Amino acid sequence: MKMTGHLGKMVTTLDAKSESAVQYQLPLDNELILLNPYIGKKIKLHYSGEIHCIECGRKSSKSYNQGFCFPCFKSLAKCDMCIMKPETCHYEEGTCRQPEWGEEFCLQDHYVYLANSSGIKVGITRGTQIPTRWIDQGATEALPIFKVANRLLSGKVEVAIKNHVSDRTDWRKMLKAKAEHIDLAEKRDELIKLAEKELKSIESKFDKDKIQLLDEKQIQINFPVEHYPEKVKSLNFDKTAEVEGMLQGIKGQYLILDVGVINIRKFAGYLIDFSA
């Protein structure tokens, strides 16, 4: 089969009936290609040299922030630095680039969680992004630990926790093997005790009902990977227009091929031909 279109972030579904296995679909404009059946088979992605902004459709010579043209990158609230650092959310200061967007996406319940992808990490996500956020990070285990009233507050709680644990994923380590099991509930209790002073300081400044400690079950996620690479070689459409090889697995937003790995999300908006 062969299809042409602009890449988008892979669409994922956690199939509880199949031992929590992740199903992946590759977006090419309005079409979705189910990728799982192609694992163990040869695929090819050829980059045409064209990039179009995933927001406005404008042709761009370069992609910013995983798919935006420069004007959108500079003007959209979803591209602001506070998205990367939620503790700096400035909606209440009246300086949000798009207040209506902020009301819809930032002023809603968020979750602070622990995840295990390349080891334990802390992170935040909107409730609507569970479990998508964990899948995109390649986490094989995850546990929500706090439910909070908005993005700013989730960022403050995350900062308190990350003083004692990483908030980053080692993507190379994540792609080389399945992470060893971690009892995240046990780690949650340890971290809350370590961050007790910082958490109490945050709680003292907000209504009690805005920060809720959770007692959830640890979630398991299985990725469709037949073979992990011994060495992780990163493939890049900006350097090599054609990527062809045996699809050995999919994890996070990465295709794992026998010739290297490629981060599909990084190249959102790139016009490609896909064949398999």
Query: Looking at residue 206, what is its pLDDT?
Result: 87
Question: So where are the chain's domains?
Answer: 2-61+224-275, 74-219
Q: How confident is the model at residue 251 (pLDDT cuts 50, 70, 90)?
A: very high
Q: Could you tell me the pTM of the whole model?
A: 0.94
User: Could you read off the pLDDT of 106-141 as tens digits, one per residue?
Assistant: 999 999 999 999 999 999 999 999 999 999 999 999
Task: Give the residue among 257, 9, 12, 22 at the shortest CA–CA distance from 140.
Answer: 22
* For residue 194, pLDDT beyond 90: yes
| pLDDT band per the 50, 70, 90 thresholds, residue 20 | low
State the pLDDT at residue 209: 87
Cα 141 from Cα 79, distance rounded (Å)? 28
What would the mean pLDDT of 229-253 be, rounded to a whole number? 97
The C-alpha angle 168, 79, 149, rounded to 5 degrees, equals 70
Give the closest residue to 26 by CA, choosing from 259, 247, 192, 260.
247
